[in-house]
Structure formats: structure tokens, C-alpha cells
Structure 1
Amino acid sequence: MSHTAHIPSHRKPRRSSSKLALRAGVAGGVLSTIAVAASPAQAEPVTETVEMPALTNVDLSGALSTAVAASAEATQQDVLLQDLRAQEDAAATQAAKDAKKAKDEAERKAEAERKAKEAEEARKAEEARAEAQDRASRTSERSSLSTTSSSSAGGGSSYSAPATGSAAAIVAFARAQVGDAYVMGATGPNAWDCSGLVQAAYRQAGIDLPRVSGAQSSMGTSVSLDNLQPGDILYWGSRSGSYHVAVYVGGGKYVGAQNPSTGVVERSLDWDRPSGAVRIL
């Protein structure tokens, strides 16, 4: 017996041929599978599926409604903003127009007032000039009349003869009212119209005269202005249709209720030459 016979052999036991064939077939199949998988012509796409959360109809409808509502609100706000701006622009334009209109009206009014003031001043200046000329003319006429009266026979007595009797009472009453107001239709005691004053003066002599100037100048007898006596009634206009009367007080003067601006005054005959005269006494 060999000295190694009792030592177990380290060599792997031989496999049977059938097992070797099986393993070879398996290995070949695996290699074939790998080869097929590695071949580009035979590669199949790999699809990876990602699961997404499912959306229900309720979710989609709510989101859409919210989006539509937000869009509508934004549109409405934009429309309101544009309308507000348009109103502000219109208000500013109208305010500018109103301001310009007010300015133009104020300027027009100021210009009208200025022109009216200038016209009034021009009128007053013209009246003053005319009054000055009239006074100068009357002064000249008075001087001429005085000269003529003093040179005429007996003519001077008509301007210088003193009032006596009833005439004195008439003259005294008329002169006492100088300075009273003129009021149409007034018969005293502090305001008169022309015929009211003459009527009241003659009443001092116990003579009742008609109320109006036309009737008063129709009474008595007509006398010349060159032969006047105190107490005679002077008239302006025609004798039967006079529009103004006064009392001759002597010295070439008369007293009469002239107009609202002068009241009762004593004036020279040549200040406003009468149309004629009548004598009742």
C-alpha cells in the first residue's frame, strides 16, 4: 500500500458530464441574453411611468371660476379707474372754463364801470361848463337889462318899486319859503310845487287861486315883462297852457319852486326868462 493512500485527495471531485452540460447551457443562455441586450439593433426603449395626482372635475371648475372672477374684478377696477380719471379730467377742464368765464365777466364789468364813470365825469364836466356859460350869459343879459331899464322912461320903477299892501304880504310869504323842498303836488308847509307855492302866497292876501299853473296864468290881465310890479304872477309856456309859475318880488327877481334839485329859490329874471306875466291885484 502506498504511503499516501491514507491521505484524502485535495482534488475536486469530477462532475458528471450531464451537470457540466447543464451549466454550459445556462451560461450560454445568459451570455446570449446579455449579448442581445447589449446589441443596439435589438434594444427596446425603457419607459418610466410617473404617477401624477388625479384632478377631479370639482377642482378644475373651482379654479376656473376663481380665475374668471379675479380677471373680471381686475377689469372692473381698471374701468372704474379710467372712468374716475375721465371725470377728473372733465372736472378740471370745466373748472378752467368757469374760471376763464368768471375772469372775462369781471374784466367786462370793470370795463363797463370804468366807461360809465368816465361818461358820468364827462357829463358833469359838460354840465358845469354849460352852467358857467349860462351864468356868464345871464350876467351879461342882466347888465344889459339894467342899463335899458334905467334909461327908459318909468321903466326903472318896475324893478325897484317896493311892495305895498297885499303885494307885500304875497312877497313876504314867498320869500319866507326859500330853501324849502320841491315836491310835485306838494302844498306846504315845508315842501311845494310851483303852483302850490303861488296859491299859498296869494292866500295871504285873501285871494283864492286855482290849483294848477295853467289856470293861474289865465287869470287877471296880461302885463309886459318891462312893466312888472311885486306880486305879479310870472309864467313859462303859453298863458293858457303854462307849465311853470312864480311870484315876482321886485328888483328884477322872482321866487319860485323850481325843481327837485333846487327847491324853492329866489332868482333873477334873466336866470330863466319867463314867457309872460299876469296881474291879479
Structure 2
Amino acid sequence: MSHTAHIPSHRKPRRSASKLALRAGVAGGVLGTIAVAGAAGPANAEPVTETIEMPTLGSLAAGSNLASAVAASAEASQQEALDQSLQTLEQAALKKASQDAKKAKAEADRKAAAERAEKARLKAEKEREEAEEAAERASRTSTRTQLATNSSSNDGGSSSSSSSSSSDSGSSASDSGSRTQAPTGSAASIVAFARAQVGDAYVSGGTGPNSWDCSGLVQAAYRAAGIDLPRISYQQSSMGSSVSLGDLQPGDILYWGSRSGSYHVAIYVGGGKYVGAQNSSTGVVERSLDWDPPSGAVRIL
């Protein structure tokens, strides 16, 4: 082979701009070495010619553009992933806000419905109490009318003197109260306890200490004096002995209705007055017997 023959080059695929630059530097170094060796050799030696392919500027630019394109693509992919993540978070936040709003609305609707139901219940209870009070008054009026009719029928054949005596015995309890001395002993304890509860609320089934029904108050007043009474009004009015309304004494139990079937009781406190747990509108009050005359009375003491 001639010394002037070309050394064939073996081209390999270019992988990156940095490798191309490295190969260019190595090739430059080889050329410089050959040039120095040629200068130092014998004068009659034939020059050695070697052809080495050098990378072009266009190839280096193409590699640089490729790296930039790859970097730009990676950045675009990262931005897209970030955008998708933000979109997912926004959708989740919107969904949660919607759910919270629905829950808040449902809770508000429930509270509004509960308030309406409570108002309706209170209104119905008030109407029921008013109806019960009206029925109670009507029943008392009917009972008094029936008693008056029976009394008139039984006394129809008696003399005028007997009628006068009967009228005196049936005089108003206020007259009887004016003749009654101040209570003492157990009666004083009963009266004092009853009057101490004036102003308390009336609650059906109430037994104190701040709310009562009629028989609950009577039972508690007698218990303060060391006397046990039944809980129900008709049982209380069946105790002791019957007394005339014209001969009442403090501590006597007043009843409305029949003695064995009374529907209301109270305590006579003297002076023509009584203390009783009337109804939810009035609570525990002290009233004159003339305000709502009782049907009868019993004495336990």
C-alpha cells in the first residue's frame, strides 16, 4: 500500500454534541502530533498524508437543537402534569364545597322544620290547655247547678224557718273565714307551706319543688305537717270527714266535683280564701272562694 494512500475513515453514528466536540479535540491532537513527527523525520522521507473526517458546524448545531428540543419537551410534559394536578385539585375542592353547601342547606332546612314543629306543638298545647280550662269551668258550673237543684228539691217541703237556717248554713265561705281563728299546729304548717308556693308553675303531674298540679300541692303541704295523703285528687277528697262550706277551718281540703270523684282539690287557708294549683295559665294562686266556689270540703286534722 502506498504511503500516500488515504486512510479510510470509519464513521459511527453521532450520539450527542458533547461527544462530537470531544472527538474533534482528539482529532486535532492527532494531527498536531503527525505534523511534529514529519518535521523531525529524515529529509528524504515521503510525506504521510492522513485524512480524518472532522465534524461540521452544522452537525454540532443539530445536536444542540436536539438537546434543546428534548429539554423543551420535558419541560412541556412537566408543565402539563402540573396543570393536570392543579385541575384535579380544583375539581376536588369544587366537589367538596358543593357537598358542604348541600349539608349546610339540609341542616338549615332541618332546623327550620324543627322550629316550625316546636311552634306548632306549643300552639297546640296552649289551645289544649285553654280547652281544658274551659271544660273544667263548665264542669264546675254544671256540678254546682246540679247540687243546687238537688238541694232545692230536697228542701221543697220544709218550713220557711228551716229554709232560713239552711241558707245561713250555706252562707259564703268568706263569712265563715271571718269567724275562723288563725291556724295553729299542723294546720299552720299546712297553710304556711301552701302559701309559700304561690307563684310557682302549674305542670300536670308536678310534685314540686317549683311546679305542681292540684293534688301534688295538697299532698306536699300535708307532708310538711307529717301527714301522708294519697296522690290523686279523688282519693284525697275521700279521706277524713265531710264538713260544711259554712264551717271551714284552715287546712281543710276543698274539692270540686263529687267527693269520691273530684277532679280538683285545694287547701283552705282561712279568711274565705284558698290556695291551689289551678292551671298552666295561672299557676299556684291564692283566691277567694267566691272566685270559683268549691263543691265541698273534707277535714283530715
Q: Name the TM-score, length of structure 1 as normaliser.
A: 0.51
Name the CA distance, whole Å, in 2 between partners of 1:115 and 1:275: 42
Equivalent residues of 1:185, 1:196 under 8 A apart: no
Name the CA distance, whole Å, in 2 between partners of 1:178 and 1:185: 11
1:162 corresponding residue in structure 2: 176
2:121 corresponding residue in structure 1: 119
Q: Which amino acid aligns with 1:99?
A: A
SS at match of 2:183: helix
Residue 131 of structure 1 and its aligned partner are, at CA, apart by 1.7
Taking only aligned residues, the RMSD between alpha carbons, in angstroms, comes to: 5.1
Structure 2 counterparts to residues 14-163 of structure 1, below 5 A: 54=56, 64-149=66-151, 156=167, 157=169, 160=172, 162-163=176-177
Q: Which amino acid aligns with 2:182?
A: A
Name the CA distance, whole Å, in 2 between partners of 1:145 and 1:129: 24
1:234 corresponding residue in structure 2: 253
Classify 1:255/1:97 alpha carbon distance in 2 versus 1 (closer, same or farther; 3 Å).
closer
* 1:256 pairs with 2:284: no
Equivalent residues of 1:258, 1:265 under 8 A apart: no
- Unpaired runs of 5+ in structure 2? 1-52, 156-161, 202-207, 211-216
Name the CA distance, whole Å, in 2 between partners of 1:199 and 1:81: 83
Residue 80 of structure 1 and its aligned partner are, at CA, apart by 0.7
> Aligned to 2:287, which of 255, 266, 269?
266
Structure 2 counterparts to residues 195-214 of structure 1, below 5 A: 209-210=225-226, 213=229
SS at match of 2:267: strand
1:182 corresponding residue in structure 2: 200
- Unpaired runs of 5+ in structure 1? 1-50, 187-192, 201-208
* Bigger-Rg structure (1/2): 1
Q: Name the TM-score, length of structure 2 as normaliser.
A: 0.49
Percent of aligned pairs sharing the same letter: 34
Classify 1:257/1:199 alpha carbon distance in 2 versus 1 (closer, same or farther; 3 Å).
farther
Q: Which amino acid aligns with 1:137?
A: S
> Aligned to 1:246, which of 267, 276, 282?
267
Q: Deviation per CA, 1:61-82, whole angstroms, max 9, x where unpaired? A: 7665543332222101101101
SS at match of 1:181: coil
Equivalent residues of 2:275, 2:284 under 8 A apart: no
2:23 corresponding residue in structure 1: none
Residue 126 of structure 1 and its aligned partner are, at CA, apart by 2.6
Name the CA distance, whole Å, in 2 between partners of 1:211 and 1:106: 54
> Aligned to 2:240, which of 197, 209, 222?
222
Classify 1:269/1:225 alpha carbon distance in 2 versus 1 (closer, same or farther; 3 Å).
farther
Name the CA distance, whole Å, in 1 between partners of 2:283 and 2:105: 43
SS at match of 2:299: strand
Equivalent residues of 1:158, 1:227 under 8 A apart: yes
Residue 101 of structure 1 and its aligned partner are, at CA, apart by 2.9
SS at match of 1:180: coil
Residue 129 of structure 1 and its aligned partner are, at CA, apart by 2.3
SS at match of 1:169: coil
Name the CA distance, whole Å, in 2 between partners of 1:250 and 1:144: 27
269-278 vs 139-148, which moves further: 269-278
Residue 144 of structure 1 and its aligned partner are, at CA, apart by 3.2
